C-alpha cells in the first residue's frame, strides 16, 4: 500500500494534513466503516480521494450533483489521477472512455449519481471494476426529513451489502438525529468509526439584522463589497429575480437562480459563477451544494433560513480558501411565520415537526443572541469557544435588560390559557385587547389580562421571539402551533432564575404595515395542517389540490372548526360526495379524532332531517325491549329511520304507510316517534 503522506505531497502538493484529516484517512485506509462530519471547506474530499489512490481497485463515489462531480473529476485528472464520472450529462464518448478505463484497470475513482443505483446493472459494473470502497459525499441526503433528501441515497446500504466492501460517509452538517439516521440507513444500525471535527470557521464574520427595508439592506451590504463574488439567498423564487434586477440596476453584475428555471439556464449561471470574478448570484437554496468556488467572499440571507443547520451550510460556502469572508442574515416576524408554516404544512409526523420547530428555535437563538454569535453557534453543535472578535456582537455589544418580569407574565398567560394558543392571542391578553375571541373564551377575566400594557404589541412579539430563541417555549404541531413551555422555563416562572434579553431588538420592533393573511395568526397553524392533509390526499389521488377542496373551504374550516359531519356539511364547498369521501379525514385534523357515521346517516348530514334521525335512533334504542325492558327485542334499520325523518308523518296511519312498520312496531314505537316528529 502506497504511503498516504508521500501521495499527499506528490499528487496534491500539500505540505501536510489539515487538522482532523489524517485520522479519517487512516480509518478509511484500514478498511473500517467511517462517518466523518467536517465543516464545509474542511477538506472532506481528500479524505476519500487519498485512500482511493493508496488502495488497489476502484473507489466509487456517490455524489448528489453532476456539477460537483465534474469539477472534482477535472481537478483529479489535472493532478494526474485516473478518475471518471457516469452521469446523465455524459456524452457517449465520455461514457465509453470510463468503461475503457475500467477494462484497462486504470480507473481509481468512479463518481456516480445516486439515481444510477436504481439500475441492476450497476452492482455488476462495480464488481467488474473491482470496487473496494464506497465513499458517500453529502451523506445527510439520506435523511428522509432533511431539505436535501435524495430517495436514491436509500439504496446505498444495499449496494454496500452486495459488494461487501467498507463504506465511508461524509457530510458538512448533521445534527445528532440525522447522524443516527445515517447510521441506520447506510451502516445497518452498526455504529461506524465516527469523527466529528470542529465546526468553527473563524475566517467567516457573522452578522444578523432585524428586517427594515430588506432590499435596501442587501444593496448597502453588496455596495460595501463591490467587485467581490457573493451569494444572496431568498426564500421565494420570485424574490430572486426582483433582487437580482435591483442589484444590476445598482451597478453590480448579478443573476438569479432557482429550481423553476430550465436546466440549461441553471447550468449557465453555475458556469458563470465559477469563471467570473465579482458575480453575485441571487438564489434559492437550490444553488450552492455543488459549487466548489473557494473565493466566495460573502453570503447574505434576505430571508431567515429554515434551520440553524441550513444556515451553517449556506454561510459555509463563503471563504473556503481560508481568507476573510462575511455574512449577513436578515430576519423578521414574517420570516418566522413563513418558516413555521412550511413546517406545519409538511407531511412529516408530529414528532419530526416538533424537532424542526426546535431547530428553527436554535436559529432564532442565534439571531437574538446576547453575546458572541460564534459561541452560540458552536454551542448548538456541542462545542465551546472564547469570544471570537469576528461577529457583529463582538464588534458592538447589544443593549440588554433584565426581562424576568416580562417573561414571567408571558409564561403565566401561556399556562392560564392551557398552553392552547399562539403568540397572537397571548399578546392580545397581555396588552388587554378585548377581541371577540378573548371575550368568547372569557380570557378578559384572567389575572394576566392587561398586565403587559407597558410594552407595545410589536415589542411583545420580539419578547416571544427571544423566548423561542432561548427555547423557553415551542410551538406544538399537535395543537396547531400553540405555544407550550419547556422545562427550561419553569425556574423562571417560579422566580428561581432570571433572564436577560436584548432591548435593542425590542426597541426596533415596530408595528409595520399589517400583512394581509388568509386567517388570523392563531388559526394559521390549523390552516397549514389542513393544507398538508389536502396535499397528501391530492397526491394519493394524483389530482391538483384544489380538486379536493379550494382554499376558501379550508379557510372556513380553520375559522369555524367544525366538530361533526353535520357541522362540516355547512362549510362552503363541502358537498355530499366530498363530505362522504373527505369529511372524516379533515375532522380528524381539526379535532384529533372523528367518530365514523353510518353511510345512511351521512346522507342527511347538515340537514334538519339528520337531527330528527338521531332522535328517532335514540328512541329506537331506548325501546329496544319495550317500556319495562322485558319485551321482545325490536329495532328499525337506518334506512327506515331515514325515510321517516325525511317524510315526517304526523299520524300513526301515515307512519305505518311511510315505514311499513306493522302492528307490533307501531305499538312499540309509534307514539314516541310522533312525539319526536311533531315537536319541531
Under 8 Å between Cβ of 582 and 537: yes
- 390 with 412, same domain: the answer is no
- 87 with 175, same domain: the answer is yes
Which of 162, 196, 230 is the last residue before a domain boundary?
196
Here the CATH number for the domain that contains residue 481 is 1.10.10.10
- 96 with 189, same domain: the answer is yes
162-196 confidence digits (pLDDT tens): 999 999 999 877 677 788 899 999 999 899 999 98
* More confidently predicted of 489 and 477: 489
CA-CA distance, 194 to 183, in Å (whole number)? 10
Is residue 347 included in any domain, yes or no?
no
Is residue 354 included in any domain, yes or no?
no
- 191 with 210, same domain: the answer is no
- 237 with 385, same domain: the answer is yes
Nearest to 354 by CA among 525, 539, 184, 208: 525
Under 8 Å between Cβ of 155 and 188: no
Find where cell 301515515 sits. Answer: 654
Is residue 648 included in any domain, yes or no?
yes
- 615 with 589, same domain: the answer is no
The dihedral over CA atoms of 105, 111, 114, 116, expressed in degrees to the nearest 10, equals -50
Is residue 337 included in any domain, yes or no?
no
- 35 with 110, same domain: the answer is yes
- 390 with 409, same domain: the answer is no
Instruction: Give the least confident one: 42-46, 265-269, 494-498, 511-515.
Output: 511-515
Question: In this predicted structure, what is the pLDDT of residue 418?
Answer: 93
- What is the pLDDT confidence band of residue 71, given thresholds at 50, 70 and 90? confident
Tell whether the torsion through CA atoms of 28, 30, 32 and 38 is positive or negative: negative
Tell whether the torsion through CA atoms of 205, 209, 211 and 214 is positive or negative: negative
Number of domains in the chain: 5
Question: In this predicted structure, what is the pLDDT of residue 653?
Answer: 84
- What is the pLDDT confidence band of residue 29, given thresholds at 50, 70 and 90? very high
Cell of 365: 437563538
561-617 confidence digits (pLDDT tens): 888 888 888 888 887 788 888 988 899 888 875 556 677 777 787 777 888 888 888
Is residue 122 included in any domain, yes or no?
yes
* More confidently predicted of 507 and 158: 158
Find where cell 453529502 sits. Answer: 138
pLDDT at 6 over 70: yes
pLDDT at 512 over 50: no
- 556 with 647, same domain: the answer is no
Distance from CA of residue 556 to its chain's centroid?
Answer: 26
Beta-bridge partner residues of 301 = 233, 329
Q: In 3-state terms, the chain is what percent helix, strand and coil (to 5)?
A: 50, 10, 40
Supply angle C-alpha 542, 544, 548, rounded to 5: 95
Which of 596, 626, 645 is the last residue before a domain boundary?
596
- 550 with 616, same domain: the answer is no
Under 8 Å between Cβ of 422 and 475: yes
Here the CATH number for the domain that contains residue 538 is 1.10.150.80
Burial class (CB in 10 A: 0-12, 13-18, 19+), 357: buried
CB atoms near residue 201 (< 10 Å): 23
CA-CA distance, 71 to 273, in Å (whole number)? 13
Bridge-based pairing state of the strands 473-476 and 482-485:
antiparallel
Find where cell 452560540 sits. Answer: 376
Nearest to 461 by CA among 533, 497, 514: 514
* More confidently predicted of 432 and 173: 432
Question: In this predicted structure, what is the pLDDT of residue 369?
Answer: 92
540: left (phi over 0), alpha (psi -120 to 50) or beta: alpha
Under 8 Å between Cβ of 536 and 347: yes
Which of 536, 561, 596 is the last residue before a domain boundary?
596
Bridge-based pairing state of the strands 400-402 and 500-502:
antiparallel
Question: In this predicted structure, what is the pLDDT of residue 108?
Answer: 95
Nearest to 381 by CA among 205, 203, 201, 199: 199
Here the CATH number for the domain that contains residue 245 is 3.40.50.300
Give residue 638's domain range. 608-677
Cell of 69: 462531480
Chain-wide mean pLDDT for the chain? Answer: 87
* More confidently predicted of 92 and 147: 92
CA-CA distance, 210 to 507, in Å (whole number)? 11
Cell of 453: 400594557
Is residue 176 included in any domain, yes or no?
yes
Is residue 78 included in any domain, yes or no?
yes
First CA to last CA distance, the chain: 94
Is residue 514 included in any domain, yes or no?
no
- 390 with 289, same domain: the answer is yes
| φ, ψ of residue 170 in degrees (nearest 5) | -130, 140
Tell me the mean pLDDT in the region 143-158.
Answer: 82
Three-state secondary structure call for residue 228: coil
- 390 with 278, same domain: the answer is yes
Supply angle C-alpha 422, 497, 454, rounded to 5: 50
b/e per residue 92-115 (b: at least 16 CB within 10 A): eeeeeebeebbeeeebbbbbbbbe
The string of DSSP letters for 482-540 reads EEEE-GGGHHHHTTS---EEEHHHHHH----SPP--SS-TTTHHHHHHHHHHHHHHHHH
Amino acid at each position: 500500500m502506497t504511503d498516504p503522506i508521500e501521495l499527499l505531497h506528490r499528487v496534491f502538493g500539500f505540505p501536510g494534513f489539515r487538522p482532523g484529516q489524517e485520522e479519517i484517512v487512516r480509518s478509511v485506509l484500514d478498511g473500517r466503516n467511517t462517518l466523518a462530519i467536517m465543516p464545509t471547506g474542511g477538506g472532506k474530499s481528500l479524505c476519500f480521494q487519498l485512500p482511493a489512490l493508496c488502495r488497489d481497485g476502484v473507489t466509487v463515489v456517490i455524489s448528489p450533483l453532476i456539477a460537483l462531480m465534474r469539477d472534482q473529476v477535472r481537478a483529479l485528472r489535472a493532478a494526474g489521477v485516473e478518475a471518471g464520472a457516469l452521469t446523465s450529462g455524459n456524452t457517449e464518448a465520455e461514457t465509453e472512455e470510463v468503461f475503457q478505463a475500467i477494462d484497462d484497470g486504470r480507473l481509481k475513482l468512479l463518481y456516480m449519481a445516486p439515481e444510477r443505483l436504481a439500475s441492476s446493472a450497476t452492482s455488476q459494473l462495480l464488481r467488474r471494476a473491482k470496487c473496494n470502497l464506497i465513499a458517500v459525499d453529502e451523506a445527510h441526503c439520506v435523511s428522509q426529513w432533511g431539505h436535501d433528501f435524495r430517495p436514491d441515497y436509500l439504496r446505498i446500504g444495499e449496494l454496500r451489502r452486495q459488494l461487501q466492501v467498507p463504506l465511508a460517509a461524509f457530510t458538512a452538517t448533521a445534527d445528532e438525529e440525522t447522524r443516527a439516521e445515517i447510521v441506520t440507513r447506510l451502516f445497518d444500525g452498526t455504529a461506524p468509526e465516527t469523527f466529528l471535527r470542529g465546526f468553527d470557521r473563524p475566517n467567516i464574520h457573522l452578522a444578523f439584522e432585524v428586517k427594515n427595508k430588506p432590499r435596501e439592506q442587501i444593496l448597502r451590504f453588496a455596495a460595501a463589497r463591490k467587485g467581490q463574488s457573493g451569494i444572496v439567498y431568498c426564500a421565494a423564487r420570485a424574490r430572486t429575480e426582483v433582487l437580482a434586477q435591483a442589484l444590476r440596476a445598482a451597478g453590480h453584475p448579478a443573476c438569479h437562480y432557482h429550481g423553476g428555471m430550465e436546466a440549461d439556464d441553471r447550468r449557465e449561471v453555475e458556469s458563470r459563477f465559477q469563471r467570473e470574478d465579482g458575480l453575485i448570484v441571487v438564489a434559492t437554496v437550490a444553488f450552492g451544494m455543488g459549487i466548489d468556488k473557494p473565493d466566495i467572499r460573502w453570503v447574505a440571507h434576505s430571508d431567515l433560513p429554515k434551520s440553524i443547520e441550513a444556515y451553517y451550510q449556506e454561510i459555509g460556502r463563503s471563504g473556503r480558501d481560508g481568507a476573510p469572508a462575511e455574512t449577513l442574515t436578515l430576519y423578521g416576524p414574517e420570516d418566522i411565520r413563513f418558516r413555521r408554516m412550511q413546517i406545519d404544512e409538511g407531511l412529516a409526523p408530529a414528532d419530526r415537526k416538533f424537532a424542526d420547530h426546535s431547530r428553527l428555535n436554535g436559529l432564532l437563538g442565534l439571531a437574538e443572541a446576547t453575546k458572541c454569535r460564534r459561541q452560540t453557534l458552536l454551542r448548538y453543535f456541542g462545542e465551546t469557544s472564547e469570544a471570537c472578535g469576528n461577529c457583529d456582537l463582538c464588534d458592538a455589544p447589544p443593549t440588554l435588560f433584565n426581562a424576568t418580569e416580562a417573561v414571567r407574565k408571558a409564561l403565566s398567560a401561556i399556562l392560564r390559557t392551557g398552553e392552547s394558543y399562539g403568540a397572537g392571542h397571548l399578546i392580545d391578553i397581555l396588552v388587554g385587547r378585548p377581541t371577540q375571541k378573548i371575550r368568547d373564551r372569557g380570557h378578559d377575566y384572567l389575572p394576566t389580562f392587561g398586565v403587559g400594557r407597558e410594552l407595545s404589541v410589536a415589542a411583545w412579539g420580539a419578547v416571544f421571539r427571544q423566548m423561542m430563541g432561548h427555547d423557553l417555549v415551542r410551538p406544538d404541531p399537535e395543537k396547531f402551533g400553540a405555544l407550550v413551555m419547556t422545562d427550561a422555563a419553569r425556574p423562571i416562572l417560579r422566580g428561581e432564575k432570571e433572564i436577560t434579553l436584548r432591548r435593542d431588538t425590542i426597541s426596533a420592533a415596530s408595528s409595520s404595515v399589517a400583512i394581509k393573511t388568509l386567517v388570523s395568526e392563531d388559526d394559521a397553524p390549523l390552516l397549514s395542517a389542513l393544507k398538508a392533509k389536502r396535499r397528501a390526499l391530492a397526491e394519493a389521488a394524483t389530482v391538483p389540490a384544489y380538486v379536493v377542496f379550494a382554499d376558501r373551504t379550508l379557510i372556513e374550516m380553520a375559522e369555524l372548526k367544525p366538530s361533526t359531519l353535520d357541522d362540516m356539511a355547512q362549510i362552503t364547498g363541502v358537498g355530499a360526495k366530498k363530505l362522504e369521501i373527505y369529511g372524516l379525514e379533515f375532522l380528524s385534523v381539526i379535532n384529533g379524532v372523528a367518530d365514523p357515521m353510518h353511510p345512511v346517516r351521512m346522507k342527511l348530514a347538515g340537514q334538519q332531517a339528520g337531527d330528527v334521525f338521531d332522535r328517532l335512533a335514540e328512541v329506537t334504542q331506548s325501546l329496544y325491549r319495550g317500556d319495562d325492558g322485558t319485551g321482545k327485542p325490536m329495532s328499525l334499520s337506518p334506512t327506515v329511520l331515514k325515510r321517516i325523518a325525511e317524510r315526517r308523518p304526523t299520524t300513526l296511519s301515515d307512519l305505518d304507510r311511510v315505514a311499513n312498520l306493522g302492528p307490533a312496531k307501531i305499538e312499540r314505537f309509534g307514539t314516541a316517534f310522533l312525539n319526536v316528529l311533531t315537536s319541531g
